[in-house]
């Protein structure tokens, strides 16, 4: 039975599992027994225990881990903007949006969670599922940054789709935020006139 549980996990495309997800995969195993087995598998090195109730394959995706620690959450802010070429500053931390602000260190990763209003967090506009990772589009990440930080320097606003930004900005529903988005749009227009 040990091999069945571990083999089944390794056959799955995801790399990080919560105990609840594992319990759904093996409904025939009582929850208490499954919990003990997973602790045993972690102690024997068959899987990695990253945090209470969170297990992973030897090689796991840190973005997927960030999504599992707090649910719902999505990768955003500097992590997405750097990848899209909007900011050039390198950050080692992974930035994610969720319902609490916390810093979590697991293995060699630091995950910075930022709190955002629930109605914004749960809105799927500009949120993509890439494999097992929930991640913001560059436009949504840009709007998250503008929403959270009053002043922020963006290195390259031209890589953003401003039509999408104008479409998504109504999610945030504050006049001050809308004004700041307008100021960044003005900067973009001046740079590309």
Residue-wise pLDDT tens digits, 135-173: 999 999 999 999 999 999 999 999 999 999 999 999 999
End-to-end, the C-alpha distance of the chain in Å comes to 66
136 and 153 inside one domain: yes
- In the predicted structure, residue 1 carries a pLDDT above the cut 60: no
55 and 78 inside one domain: no
149 and 133 inside one domain: yes
Give residue 22's pLDDT: 96
- Domains in the chain: how many in total? 2
118 and 181 inside one domain: yes
45 and 107 inside one domain: no
Q: Which two tokens stand for residue 146?
A: 């503008």
- Contact assessment for residue 143 and residue 165, using Cβ atoms and an 8 Å cutoff: yes
- Contact assessment for residue 70 and residue 98, using Cβ atoms and an 8 Å cutoff: yes
Among 18, 36, 59, give the residue marking a domain's end. Answer: 59
Give residue 143's pLDDT: 98
Residue-wise pLDDT tens digits, 75-91: 999 999 999 999 999 99
Q: Report the C-alpha gap between 61 and 51 in whole angstroms.
A: 15
Classify the C-alpha dihedral 171-172-176-180 as positive or negative.
negative
**Domain of 36, in residue numbers:** 1-59
* Confidence bin at 6 (pLDDT 50/70/90): very high
* Confidence bin at 192 (pLDDT 50/70/90): confident
| Radius of gyration of the chain from its Cα atoms, rounded to whole angstroms | 20
């Amino acid at each position: 039975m040990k091999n069945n549980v571990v083999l089944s996990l390794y056959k799955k495309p995801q790399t990080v599992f919560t105990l609840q997800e594992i319990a759904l995969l093996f409904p025939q195993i009582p929850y208490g027994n499954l919990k003990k087995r997973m602790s045993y598998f972690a102690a024997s090195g068959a899987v990695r225990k990253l945090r209470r109730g969170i297990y992973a394959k030897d090689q796991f995706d840190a973005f997927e881990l960030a999504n599992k620690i707090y649910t719902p959450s999505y990768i955003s802010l500097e992590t997405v903007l750097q990848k899209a070429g909007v900011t050039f500053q390198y950050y080692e931390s992974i930035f994610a949006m969720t319902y609490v602000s916390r810093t979590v260190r697991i293995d060699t990763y630091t995950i910075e969670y930022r709190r955002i209003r629930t109605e914004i967090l749960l809105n799927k506009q500009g949120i993509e599922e890439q494999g097992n990772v929930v991640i913001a589009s560059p436009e949504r990440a840009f709007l998250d940054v503008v929403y959270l930080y009053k002043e922020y320097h963006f290195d390259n606003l031209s890589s953003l789709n401003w039509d999408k930004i104008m479409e998504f900005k109504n999610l945030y529903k504050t006049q001050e935020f809308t004004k700041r988005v307008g100021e960044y749009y003005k900067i973009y227009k001046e740079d590309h006139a």
